A = this chain, B = another copy of it.
Amino acid sequence: MSRFGPRNLPYGVFSGDDGVRRVGVRLDDTVVDLSDVDELCRRPTLNPLMAAGPARWARLRRAAREHVVDAPRIPLRAVRLHLPFEVADYTDFYSSEQHARRVGQILRPDRAALPPSWRHLPIGYHGRSATVVVSGTPIPRPYGQRGAGDFGPTRRLDIEAEVGFVVGVPGDRIPTAAFADHVFGVVLVNDWSARDIQAFEYQPLGPFLGKSFATSVSPWVVPLAALATRPAALQEPEPVDYLRPAGPGFDIRLAVEWNGTQVASPPYAQMYWTAAQQLAHLTVNGARVRTGDLYASGTVSGSRRDQAGSFLELTWNGTEPVTLADGSRRGFLLDGDTVTIHGVAAGADGADIGLGSVSGTVVGQSLFEAADTP
């Protein structure tokens, strides 16, 4: 049974031969144009629809379900998929305890694995919204300082498999209970990371160039209404008031493919902090979210090593390479490597639904070679 049946109907922005961008839904391996269903779908991004709010979203979803029964279908291979929304602010969290613990062990072995505030608030930081790109966009290997005086292409290019939440309705001081009044839907995120650049630069202000070169998102935004909810993970100690109740968890299963070999299966259901808590935290100080804000879960890593959402963890900082189907071994990404993250979720109507995939291929650059090589 298709994971893109009428119970899913994720939204995307596509164009055909005329190059005009408009909003459609994915049905099986086709796209159904929604331009004639709602005038907000005759726009080049999802932002106007996302800004319109939950009542409009519900109405459109009902109308789309009826529409797709008889509507013309355009094969996916005949369209181009675009970045589905214009990104306002991009925020990335750090809400998998297994990820935070492993990264702490690897990068800061002399200190406690979890930072002092980790169980009290969802730690996060702001990323670069300009470099959020749609799945399929090539990922040039970034240059930077890998150590004192050591400039060149990163030698430790990594991924972070994450789930992203897309804000539709602006707001500030958003209680966890109002999560679904503001968040439009869910995408898959690969927050590409250059570990050597990041390690040299990140104290004390956090990741900067080690992250800001590219963040890929899947082209289909799955509406919250399509997803089943489940109880969130147990939290100890109990969080302070503004982080309660925790809000829903989601049973989203990721699968990470490295050149076609599945190397990891990160389970979102094991995340410590919920998306509702992340949004409440993000806005509790008065900061405003806008239509198009993207906030990502943080690397999704489960308790088993083969559930890790980064190669830093999976290969233990490159010291324990994985073997791909062609027999080659990898610690970090080589030029030409392709990473595809797939996602499947428990759907609101019972059956599993697809989140699609986010993919990117690493390309080498010689732009700086002349300056870089003596």
Contacts and interface: CB of A to CB of B under 8 A. Distances in A.
Given A130-B289, A241-B151, A285-B142, A206 B205 contact: yes
Interface string A116-158: 1100110111111111000000001011110011010000000
A202 B203 contact: no
B285 A117 contact: no
A194 to B, nearest CB: 7
Interface of A: 88-89, 94, 108, 115-117, 120-121, 123-131, 140, 142-145, 148-149, 151, 173, 194, 197, 200-209, 212-214, 237, 240-242, 281-282, 284-290, 293, 365, 367-368, 371-372
- The 3 A-B pairs of least Cβ separation, nearest first, read A206-B206, A142-B285, A125-B205
A143 B173 CA distance: 10
A208 B126 CA distance: 7
B242 A151 contact: yes
A214 B286 CA distance: 8
A148 B120 contact: yes
Given A145-B240, A241-B371, A206 B209 contact: no
Contacts of A240: 145, 149, 151
Given A144-B285, A287-B130, A117 B203 contact: yes
Contact of A126 (B120, B127, B213): B127
Contacts of A123: 201, 204-205, 208
What copy number does this chain have within its complex? 2
A212 to B, nearest CB: 4
Given A131-B287, A151-B240, 19 more contacts: A89-B128, A108-B204, A117-B145, A117-B201, A120-B145, A123-B204, A125-B206, A126-B126, A126-B127, A130-B290, A143-B286, A145-B240, A149-B237, A149-B240, A173-B367, A194-B285, A203-B204, A213-B285, A242-B371
Contacts of A140: 286
Contacts of A94: 205
Contact of A115 (B125, B203, B208): B203
A197 B284 CA distance: 12
Contacts of A202: 204-206
A128 B213 contact: no
A78 B288 CA distance: 30
